[in-house]
Structure 1
Amino acid sequence: KLFKDKRLNWSDAKSHCESHGLILAEPSDAVALVMRNYLVENQGLNNDVWLGGKADGSKFVWQDGGKTLRNDSPLWHPNRSPGSQTEYTATKYCLMFMDDDYPGTSYIPSHCSSTEYPLCEAK
């Protein structure tokens, strides 16, 4: 569920999802582009949205499932992948879905204090 009523920082977005019995979305690589394209084409997504990934100092980890996101995944924005610039794995970075600015990519690291819409899913 995409909550487009208010932009929140990552921590508040996580809490917002949890207050509805949901978690920030943690799509697998196999469905990430399909999900993003659906949101762009059918939900009018024209802003980046928060996902449930957060940097731990060396990599991005899904906060609910605990799985690691590959630093070399082709889904990372080409100029902002943690595999190309290790600064993006600092703990101040959280994971966003990009809007349609870069077709073929989905993930972008952003300061956790930035404000975006939360994208939530069932646990």
Structure 2
Amino acid sequence: ARQCPGDSFKIGSNCYKIYTDTIRSWDDSKSKCEAEGLVMATKPDDAITLRKYIVETYGDNYVYLDARGDNTEFRWLRTDEAISNTDALWRHGYPGTKVTT
């Protein structure tokens, strides 16, 4: 079985790494990943398990993925697929009622 390097963790067949050293904007988060030779997570196959792990390990804080939006619609950047407003990856209470997808 494939092992994940250093302080990353495995959910399903993917390795993930969360940086908690400082609060970053989405753009700064993307730059940090790229500087480390990584890419931001996009459309995880096991979103519910990933979300549960993040909340249990890091708390219900903001974690950025490779998606963007305009407060009415959010899309995965690599696939341009809309993200449902009921997707399991949203932080509790988000995205709110403005998101229509």
**Unpaired stretches in structure 2, ≥5 consecutive residues:** 1-16
Q: 1:4 to 1:80 in 2, by over 3 A?
A: closer
RMSD (Å) for aligned C-alpha atoms? 2.9
Match of 2:58 in 1: 45
From the two aligned structures, give the one with the greater strand fraction.
1
Identity %: 30
State the Cα deviation string for residues 32-89 of structure 1 (Å, max 9, x = none).
Answer: 1201212333xx2122211221115752111233222123x3534675336x314x89
Runs of 4+ in 1 over 4 A off after TM superposition: 76-79
Q: Which has the larger radius of gyration?
A: 2
Q: Normalized against structure 2, the TM-score is what?
A: 0.61
What are the residue-to-residue correspondences of 1:64-103 with 2, within 5 Å? Answer: 64-71=78-85, 73-75=86-88, 76=90, 79-81=93-95, 84-86=97-99
Is 2:47 aligned against 1:32? yes
Q: Which amino acid aligns with 1:85?
A: K
Match of 2:39 in 1: 23
Q: Normalized against structure 1, the TM-score is what?
A: 0.52
**Unpaired stretches in structure 1, ≥5 consecutive residues:** 90-123
Please state whether the residue corresponding to 1:37 is helix, strand or coil: helix
Count of residue pairs brought into register by the alignment: 83
Q: 1:48 to 1:80 in 2, by over 3 A?
A: closer
Instruction: Tell whether the 8 Å contact from 2:71 to 2:98 is kept in structure 1 after alignment.
Output: no
Please state whether the residue corresponding to 2:24 is helix, strand or coil: coil
